[in-house]
Each structure stands twice: as structure tokens, then as C-alpha cells.
Structure 1
Amino acid sequence: MGFTSWQPLWRIFLITFGILFYLSNYLIGLNGLIKLVGITFALPHISWQISKIIRGWCQLTFVSPLSKAVLITGCDSGFGQMAAKALDTYGFHVFAGCLQPKGLGAQKLYKTTSNRLRILSLDITREDDIDAAVKEIEESDLTLWAVINNAGVIDYGPLEWDNGSSRIRKVLDVNLFGAIRVINACLPLIRRSKGRIVNVSSVFGRFTLKGLVPYCMSKHALKSYNDGLRRELDDFGVKVVCIEPLCYKTDMTKDEKMDEDLSACWKVTGDEVKTFYGEQYKSELKDSLSNHFLLARTDLKEVSDVIEEAVTASSPLEFYRCTGPVDGFIVWLSEQLNEQCLDLLLRASNLKMIVRIVNLFSPKQKVI
């Protein structure tokens, strides 16, 4: 039996925390308040990270891919394309949903995978596309083992620019309701196989950034939906997993994409709103977002690896967070702060300092 389930991980954590807490009593010479803060905040995080390392050393058990299919949305590029390649190599029959099935991304995927992989034309805002994809899976006589909701869009610009409500609807239609449409269509097959639902959310589903509100809203909602669905389906043997990448260098986080969105949004914004915000605010917002993306990680395989584990491990974790050790600690620490402190931390000037700290202590990343 493997050690991948949540409860054994908690046992490892409690044992590790107990050992470190005992050893902390021998830290002579530390100020009492500093020691208390360390035990309260740093020690649990360190214990948790050590517990995950110990878990990784334990023997894991995996499911067989024989006669099993997985459906992945958003395979044109990025995480979806890498996950499709990884699961195809593992031995699954991959149904790769692409917005542009004849595009360069889809063709690249087709040429670099086995003949088991099938490219589907899949726009998750269209019910007929989703129904056609499910029908093709049913007609294949394969067992649908997993659905991976990876497709997503991003939108840059303050809420008052352009028409904020229409931009929110557009992002939610893909990132939230698109995932719900796919899940609802596939649930009868997933219940039958007692398989997996994997939703790619974001760490920004826990923190809301100015200039990225619609995206953060959609990921907050997806996280909540994921948690509720997991609790409702747990008794029926269906596992629901949430993947939370921090920030990675994909097509959505390119400076060109940000510039294009901000310029288009500013162009159609009313004169009164433009006068109120001014060009200086626009420039400062752009700099602030650029600072966020300086933290973007380059190795997309970090995310595709955990997607693969979520699909293949006999007992996957409820959620996986993809970060580096330094920025991961900063994210964890930020979760412990109240709203006033978090607002202060996310100011552009303070963010520059955080970027310097992360870049100073983080190992050089591998470029894919």
C-alpha cells in the first residue's frame, strides 16, 4: 500500500512537527518572542515541507493505464500540451481538446505522441463541442478515467476600464463555467469508473491582484467549486484534485499579451475615466504586473508532473501547489497575514523587494 493519501501525510507531518518542536527546546539564547513566532509560523511550514519530502521517498502505488482514457482541455500549448504528452507516454488514451485543432500547437502535439492520442476540436464555452467530445469517448469503448480542466484565459486591466462586467463574464465563462460544463457532461462516465477530476486553478485563487481581478475571481470560484465537488463525491469513490501553480512563463503571462490587453482596454475606456486614472496610473499598473511576472517560473514540467501524479497515483492529494521553495514560503506566509498587511505586501514598491529576495535565494531555473 502506498503513502500518498492525505491522512498518512498528516501523520508524517504531526510526527515531524513533534520532533522539531522537541528539538526547538534546545535552541538556547533565542529571545522568547522570536522563538514563539518561529514555532507558531516557521516550524509548521518547515515540518510540512519535510513531510512532503518523506512522502516522496515512500513507495507510491499507481493505477494501470490499460484501456483507460483521459480528457484534457486547453492542449494547444502550456500545461495542457505537456500533460497530454506525459499521460500519453504513461500509456493512457489521451483525448486532447484544442481550441484550434489544426493549429501549430495541435500539430506539434500530434507529431510528438503515439497513435493513441486523439486531437479534439473543443471550445469549452460551446455545449455542442463538449457533447461531441463525450460522444467520441463513449464510442471508443474506453473507460474514461480522468478529466483535466486546464483551459483558461486571462484579462488585464482595472475593473472600471472598458466594460468591467462584460470582461468578468468572458473570463468566468471559460475558467469557471467552462470547467463546470465539461465536468457535468463527463460525470456519469467518471462515476462509473470511480476516476478523477483534476482542475487547474492558481495560487491567485487565494490572492486577488489589482489589474487581474476577473482572472483571480474565476480561480477563487473554481477553488470553491472544486472543494465542494470533492466533498460531495468522496463517498462515491471519485477523487477531485486541485492544482495551484503560482506563476509560470506561458502564453498568458507574456509581456506582449499584457501590453495588448491593457492597450485595448484603455483605448475603449471613456474619457472621464481616462482623465481620472491618467497615463501615470496606467504605467505604474504595467510595472506592477511586470514585477509579478518576474517571479514566473520557467519549468512547466513542474506542473505537468503533479497533473500526472493526480491522475496516476492510487491516492492523490486533495491539492498540489506548484512553487519554488522560496516563493512557496512567501505564499504560505502571506496566507497567515490579515487583509491590511496583505494589501501592504502587494503594493508595487514592496513587491520589487520580494522579487529581489526570491531571485537572490532561488536556484537557477531550467528553461523549457
Structure 2
Amino acid sequence: MLPAPAQKKQKNELIVVSGASTGIGAATALELASMGYHVLAGVRTDSEADAVRTGNIEPVTLDITVPEHIEALARRIADDREQRPLRALVNNAGIEVNAPVEVLPLSLWREQFETNLFGHIAVIQQLLPFLRRSRGRIVNISSVGGEAALPIFGAYAGTKSALEAASDSLRREVARQGVQVVVVQPGGVKTDMAAHSGSISLRLADGMSTEQQHLYGDLIETTVARNTAFLERAVTAEKAGKAIAKATTTTRPRTRYTLGKDAAFVIPLARHLPDRLMDRILAASHRSRSR
């Protein structure tokens, strides 16, 4: 169970956080609750609900790929006993399965897009009318990969790049309606999802053909090793949660926030350096890690 947050004055406003059972989502929900907001925390199981229920955090069953869950969430907001407005929606839920483009099964490509992109769009479509009434905010949690895709991260980075483009379009569509759209671009964050992604990649690699092992085996091993080492000094979920809560509630938000030194360094490089030079920098990074 999450520790009860030290609550400030109640805001009498609702904020939805998807993917709130662990990691960044749980930390964000806890921080927003401590600020006095009533957080509807999206979880997928009863045990996850029991773990996050505390103070101003109310767990709601929310698999964002299940339309009935999203419809139930919309009814919960509409029928709120205190008629509290929906101040913000934090689209955080996500999955990550990494393998080379040639190797990753299409079913896993589709699964990641269903969760990391289409699920968020479905939630936005349902909740946008509430945010229009409150002149609220949508916060989409992207990734450094949305602008700088590393080897074997093609599918995951692809979902984040698509979410970034959709966010830009949405921001321009709803600005005159009083709704703000913010993108947060984390780099490495110490979460269960990040910790497990390497072992998933290695299991997928075990199923590769002999030719694929020859083509990609070293690349997968060095990428996983590099990311595992980096996570030891990455931003904590608690620090990430505080930053996301601030982006969610600050009066005049930027359109984008980077999170972590790696994101702050890599994203400007990806924007301004020629592609071939960026390729060489990333390739050199992989070679140095493999020595």
C-alpha cells in the first residue's frame, strides 16, 4: 500500500492518472494527492487497487484498451457526488517490448500501439468534454525515444513518436477551447517496466533464427547491458512523479518537458544534428559499452 500523502488544502478537483499501479504513475498519483487533488488512479486488478488506495487516491479499474473501462471512468466523473470538475488527465499507461524491427513479431508491434497510442486516444476522446468544461489539461507521457529512437527500440519509440505528433495536433485543435496539452519526455527512469524490458529482449533474442542471431545478437546484448547499467543511476520514479505533477498543475505550462539529464542532452542533439552524425554517435556509444 502506498504511504498516505501529507495532504494540503483540498482542491475539490479530480485528476485521472492511467497506469497508476507502480512506477511513474503511482508516484505521480501520490504527489498529486499530496497537493490536495482527488486522484482517480487507473489500475487493472483488485490487488493493485488495494496497493494504491490511500488518502485522496481512489483506484479505478482502467485497462485503456478496454472500451467498457473507459466508459465506466467517464460515468464516474459525470456522477461525482461532489460535482468536482476534471482538472487534468495524465496519460501514463504503457508497455515496452524491445527487439530489432525484423525480429519483433507483428502481434507485439500491434499490442504496443494499442496501449501506448490508441488507448490514450480513446481516453482523450471520452474525457475531453469534461476538460473543455473545466478548461483543464491533458498531459501525455512520451519518452526520449519519441525523438531519438535507439536500436531495438523501434516499436516502443514508434508509439511515442506517434503520441508526440498526435499531441501536437491535439494542442492546436483545442487551444481555443481552453484545453492545454503538455508532453513529458522522460529519459531513463527506475521503474519495474524499465527493469524488466531487458530480460524480455533477451528472451525474444533466444527465439531468433541462426541468421538473426548473427545479425543482431551482439547489438541486443550491448543495448540491454548499456540500459541496465544506466538505470542504476537514472531518475527515480518519485522524482519523475514530482516533475509530472508540477507540469500537470503549474499555471503556465510549457508544451514539452524533458525529464532526466539524458533526455535533456539527447533530444536537442536529435533535433539539430544531421541524421548520419547522430547514427555515428549512437554506434560509438554501443561499441564503447561492448568493450
Alignment TM-score, normalising by the size of structure 2: 0.88
Superposed, 1:176-187 pairs within 5 Å as 176-187=117-128
- Note closer, same or farther for the CA distance 1:71–1:216 as it changes in structure 2 (3 Å cut): same
Please provide the CA RMSD for this pair.
2.3
Q: Does 1:153 align with 2:95?
A: yes
Q: Does 1:344 align with 2:280?
A: yes
Output the amino acid matched with 1:328: A
- Note closer, same or farther for the CA distance 1:127–1:327 as it changes in structure 2 (3 Å cut): closer
Q: Distance in 2 between matches of 1:346 and 1:134?
A: 44
- Cα offset for 1:354? 8.7
- Cα offset for 1:66? 2.5
**Identity %, equivalent residues:** 29
Output the amino acid matched with 1:157: A
Superposed, 1:211-360 pairs within 5 Å as 211-254=152-195, 256-264=196-204, 266-267=206-207, 269=208, 274-278=209-213, 281-296=216-231, 297-324=234-261, 328-347=264-283, 349-351=284-286, 353=288
Q: Does 1:120 align with 2:60?
A: yes
Whether contact under 8 Å (2:146, 2:164) holds in the other structure is yes
Output the amino acid matched with 1:259: S
- Note closer, same or farther for the CA distance 1:260–1:333 as it changes in structure 2 (3 Å cut): closer
Q: Distance in 1 between matches of 2:180 and 2:28?
A: 18
Q: Distance in 2 between matches of 1:65 and 1:193?
A: 17
Output the amino acid matched with 2:282: L
Q: Which runs of 5+ in 2 are unaligned?
A: 1-8
Output the amino acid matched with 1:306: A
Whether contact under 8 Å (2:226, 2:289) holds in the other structure is no
Q: Distance in 2 between matches of 1:156 and 1:167?
A: 9
Output the amino acid matched with 1:339: D
Deviations 1:280-301 (A, max 9, x none): 7324312223213433314223
Q: Distance in 2 between matches of 1:295 and 1:162?
A: 24
Q: Distance in 2 between matches of 1:185 and 1:67?
A: 21
Output the amino acid matched with 1:154: E
- Cα offset for 1:168? 1.3
Whether contact under 8 Å (2:147, 2:267) holds in the other structure is no
Q: Does 1:74 align with 2:9?
A: no
Output the amino acid matched with 1:151: A
Q: Distance in 1 between matches of 2:104 and 2:146?
A: 24
Task: Classify the secondary structure of the residue corresponding to 2:150.
Answer: coil
Output the amino acid matched with 2:94: G
Output the amino acid matched with 1:144: L
Whether contact under 8 Å (1:101, 1:120) holds in the other structure is no
Deviations 1:162-218 (A, max 9, x none): 52x222111000000011011000011010100010000011100112211110000
Instruction: Find the counterpart in structure 1 of residue 69 from structure 2.
Output: 129
Q: Which runs of 5+ in 1 are unaligned?
A: 1-63, 356-368
Output the amino acid matched with 2:96: I
Task: Classify the secondary structure of the residue corresponding to 2:190.
Answer: coil
Output the amino acid matched with 1:109: V
Count of aligned positions: 279
Instruction: Find the counterpart in structure 2 of residue 206 from structure 1.
Output: 147
Q: Does 1:95 align with 2:40?
A: yes
- Note closer, same or farther for the CA distance 1:233–1:145 as it changes in structure 2 (3 Å cut): same
Q: Distance in 2 between matches of 1:330 and 1:107?
A: 38
Instruction: Find the counterpart in structure 2 of residue 190 from structure 1.
Output: 131
User: Which structure has the larger Rg over C-alpha atoms?
Assistant: 1
Superposed, 1:33-48 pairs within 5 Å as none
Deviations 1:223-261 (A, max 9, x none): 00111111111111111000000111211221x442234
Output the amino acid matched with 1:87: L
Q: Distance in 2 between matches of 1:126 and 1:260?
A: 24
Instruction: Find the counterpart in structure 2 of residue 143 from structure 1.
Output: 85
Output the amino acid matched with 1:159: V
Whether contact under 8 Å (2:202, 2:220) holds in the other structure is no
Whether contact under 8 Å (2:142, 2:183) holds in the other structure is yes
Alignment TM-score, normalising by the size of structure 1: 0.71
Output the amino acid matched with 1:276: E
